Chains A and B, each alone.
Chain A
Amino acid sequence: MANQSFDVVVVGSGPGGYVAAIRCAQLGLSVGVAEDDRPGGVCLNWGCIPTKALLRNAEIVGLFHRAEEFGITVGDWKADYAQAIQRSRRVADRMAKGVEFLFRKNKITLVPGSGTLKSKSVIEVKGKEGAQTLEARRAVILATGSEPKSLPGVTIDEQGVISSNGAVRTEARPASLIVIGAGAVGMEFADVYRAYGVEVTVLEALPRVLPVEDEEASAQIARLFTRRGMTVRTGVKVVKVAPAADQVMVEIDAEGKRESLTASQVLMAVGRAARTKNLGLEALGVSMERGFVTVGPTMETSVKGIFAVGDMAGRQMLAHKAMAEGVVAAETIAGRSPHPVDYGNVPSCTYCRPQVASIGISEAAAKADGREVSVGRFPFTANGKAVALGETEGFLKVVADKRTGEILGVHIVGPEATELIHEFAVGRTLEATLEEIIHTIHAHPTLSEASLEATLAALGQAIHI
């Protein structure tokens, strides 16, 4: 294939890469995108999207179990896990096709293969049909994402020890599962497998599940998971993982006591590592820090003309953060002066049941920061819409600065928490204070009323509790 020349070459087409590519194209730049997998990256193909499809299945299964509560008698019913996986693959396929459509619409050239920087402006793309070189006349945007990490000495074979990559592909489900790592990925898969009857044990080295969330959110989720028949153990260190014929043995250290657990499968969910190998970064002298590419406020790396966005560029490893960075990189390259990404205002979402979402800082972090805080809480048991839905587990908590009413952080556990959080995301972007939220009329009955009530509670004025 002939060599091609573009204004901008993007390496990787996940949420960071494809958004950067489209924004560049919108601003009149010609764009080529190198991708060694399906367009859409991990997010659309193997991460966010297919797991949301699986969680929807888990939710429906959960409702079937609760049918009697709604006065519905269900005869024989069966939840086929293989079909749940198949459905999630169809959903992912549809989203990946959507990215292909957007590329065509924006006249973006998709070049299959893995890209390597040969110089600041030349990228070699090696695909099934051989290699070709792409010239980047203006800039290169690296967006190669991340891949699941493992514990030292433990190999992810996607048989006995699987990662999220294997879990979203595997139609068979284990009889029992040990999830190592109680972050968003671990908790979401625990939820799905549990809904389909798997015996689930969640292990977390830190003292609580969802360690990045507010302590109250962690405590609530741990309690609810336990109530659903899962074993949740925090503050335990995994010493050894030993796969055998049809069992995996996990040796743990719980407060100095050694224990040995077994399950049919282990899901490794201890985090993700940036994909920065074989990109040619070292030869060009691109600065790295702890495995991530160092970037400035415009997403430019230490090498002029080379930009990096998304998971590989560090900070929160979240698709929506990657998209925001992609826009900043694209607009910078097109000669605009975009506002830099506000990393203090990125929503964090976990889609287990009930959902967990937060923005800003936790109550503990605010206090550690020396802020005098006022905290408002509102339980969904007191919210009419939640009661009508039969989804009353959880609460909404607002942490504000006592003096100014600044919204420091909001933490939600409960139905549609991941949607509810955006009221506060917008509020924080506009630097709204508690007063602006309480002067906003919230429709009744809605889950969003909990936002209003928790805000009122922070001012000592809650009506419905």
Chain B
Amino acid sequence: MITKVLMPKLSDAMETGKVIKWLKKEGDAIKGGDVIAEIETDKANVEIEAFGSGVLRKIVVGEGGQVPVGDMIGVIADPADDIGAVAAAPAAPAPAAAAPPARAADTPAPAPLPAMESYRSVPATNTVVPITASPVQAPARDGRVKASPLARKIAAQSGVDLRLLQGTGPGGRIVRRDVESAATAPRPAAAPAAAAAAPPAARPQFVISSRTDAEYEDRALSPMRATIAKRMPLSKAPVPHFYVTSEVSMDRAWTLRAELNGLEGQPKISVTDMVIRACALALLKNPGVNAQLQGDKLRIFHRAHIGVAVALDEGLITPVLRDCDVKPLAQIAMEARDLAERARGGKLRAQEFSGATFSISNLGMYDVEEFSAIINPPEGAILAVGSVVERPVVDNGQIRVGRRMKMTISCDHRAMDGAMGARFLQDVKRLLEEPLRLLV
């Protein structure tokens, strides 16, 4: 069977994509679901998976090549398939949907095979060869984890989180050996990851680069920067923003967080994680804020899929934590950390940065007291979160030291009104000031 590998359309805004890297070479065996290439889209670097199985027979668009969505970038086929017709065809614009896999013309005899070897050679040695299957990516679609009953049982007994594992069974299924090796492996470095999420302890070195001779330089826009440049005016101009700011006492949240992070074997919780959880619960209570204007309709969401902005060197990306309204804080913390790490590594999958119903941008780690954010259409609102700062506060007529955090919500006035935003913010504030509510 011949399967064309097409430049995928990974977001509504995407028109072209660039092949950053081929992870498979021509002649490599491909199984459905194998990650075969990295694509730079307007938003992020995305790994693309093979739909067909066989051998990567031809790379049509090499590394660095930029082509419109739907163009063929490679051909996967059985070694015997004649791909001449397919591979030679000019890269005609194909429909956005994956082209139906073409069947090779009924050739009476299989086409001659290339003389080169096209299988992965693993000759036996006299030493023991470990028989382990190559791991297959197991994309957990719809949150379903593919795992064997035995793997589930052992995971439950040994406290291994199946969602963090990669299955090596058929079709990427998580099997016993995956759980057992995870259970015996040293715990993933929780500390450094937590540090990455928490405000950096040490100040960055303060170096000002020396003046150059050139008056200025013109840089080509990276696809991400170009998209931001194109999309932000599309938000700010047509979407009438209004802003509501509130100050939250973070004393109790701070104490609770320290207590939670003192628990052995629990993921480290960041302030952002608590804000995510608080927003998710407040969104359920205030569905009017969890809303988007869709032409002549208002779409009210009954799920809280929360986008969390992650700053990158060349821009920013907003990976989405799905169903935060039903996920415990620890799970939100783990997923947020995983998404942020992969966002920084350019390893997000397309479905992981689309579909948010609400977004959060936290610049607290940059000592920002407060700011306001631009709504990312078609979402209806975004919350901008500042630093937690110690300051004198007046409490029952007494001055004492307290922790405070300011947050500002930007709302689409077409979809909601000031009081709705204010009520939402009030609920977020209450949840953070009575933080045990985040745990129940």
Contact = CB atoms under 8 A, between A and B. Distances in A.
Q: Which of B54, B148, B149 has the most CB of A within 10 A?
A: B149
B404 interface: no
B29 interface: yes
B118 interface: yes
Interface stretch (B75-83, B88-96, B267-275, B291-299): B75-83
A289 B126 contact: yes
A175 B231 CA distance: 95
B150 A295 contact: no
Contact of B157 (A295, A303, A404): A404
A435 B125 contact: no
A419 interface: no
Contacts of B110: 28-30
A15 to B, nearest CB: 21
Interface string A1-45: 000000100000000000000000001111000000000000000
B354 interface: no
B123 A302 contact: yes
Contact of B175 (A294, A295, A431, A436): A431
Contacts of A406: 150, 153, 176
B29 A336 contact: yes
A269 B113 CA distance: 46
A300 B169 CA distance: 22
B53 interface: yes
A260 interface: no
Given A137-B115, A336-B53, A436-B149, A296 B122 contact: yes
Interface string B112-123: 010101111111
A244 interface: no
A228 to B, nearest CB: 40
Contacts, number: 114
Contact of B80 (A27, A139, A295, A435): A27
A303 B113 contact: no
A298 B55 CA distance: 17
Interface string A259-298: 0000000000000000000000000000101000011111
A166 interface: no
Nearest to B121: A304
Interface in A198-233: none
Contact of A404 (B119, B129, B153): B153
A365 B134 CA distance: 29
A183 interface: no
Contact of A29 (B53, B113, B134, B157): B113
B54 A335 contact: yes
Given A29-B80, A305-B121, A138 B126 contact: no
A301 interface: yes
A30 B113 CA distance: 10
Interface string B396-434: 000000000000000000000000000000000000000
A332 B121 CA distance: 8
Given A7-B113, A296-B129, A431-B175, A27 B78 contact: yes
B75 to A, nearest CB: 14
A296 B125 contact: yes
A210 B132 CA distance: 31
Contacts of B191: none
Interface in A326-341: 332-337, 339-340
A405 interface: yes
B262 interface: no
B31 interface: yes
Contacts of A139: 119
B277 to A, nearest CB: 33
Interface string A415-445: 0000000000000001111011000000000
A41 to B, nearest CB: 23
B389 to A, nearest CB: 51
B119 A294 contact: no
A303 B123 contact: yes
Interface in A149-166: none
Contacts of A78: none
Contacts of B53: 336
B31 A298 contact: no
A137 B125 contact: no
Contacts of A436: 149
A337 B115 contact: no
B125 A302 contact: yes
20 contacts: A29-B113, A294-B124, A294-B125, A294-B126, A298-B120, A301-B123, A305-B121, A335-B54, A335-B55, A335-B119, A336-B54, A337-B134, A340-B133, A404-B150, A404-B153, A404-B157, A430-B149, A431-B149, A432-B149, A432-B150
Given A27-B80, A404-B154, 19 more contacts: A28-B79, A28-B110, A138-B117, A287-B124, A289-B126, A296-B123, A297-B129, A302-B124, A332-B119, A332-B120, A333-B119, A334-B119, A335-B27, A335-B29, A336-B54, A431-B150, A433-B149, A433-B153, A436-B149
Interface of B: 27, 29, 31, 53-55, 78-81, 110, 113, 115, 117-126, 129-134, 148-151, 153-154, 157, 169-170, 175-176
Q: 8 closest A-B pairs (Cβ-Cβ)?
A: A28-B80, A431-B148, A431-B150, A296-B124, A297-B131, A335-B118, A335-B55, A335-B29
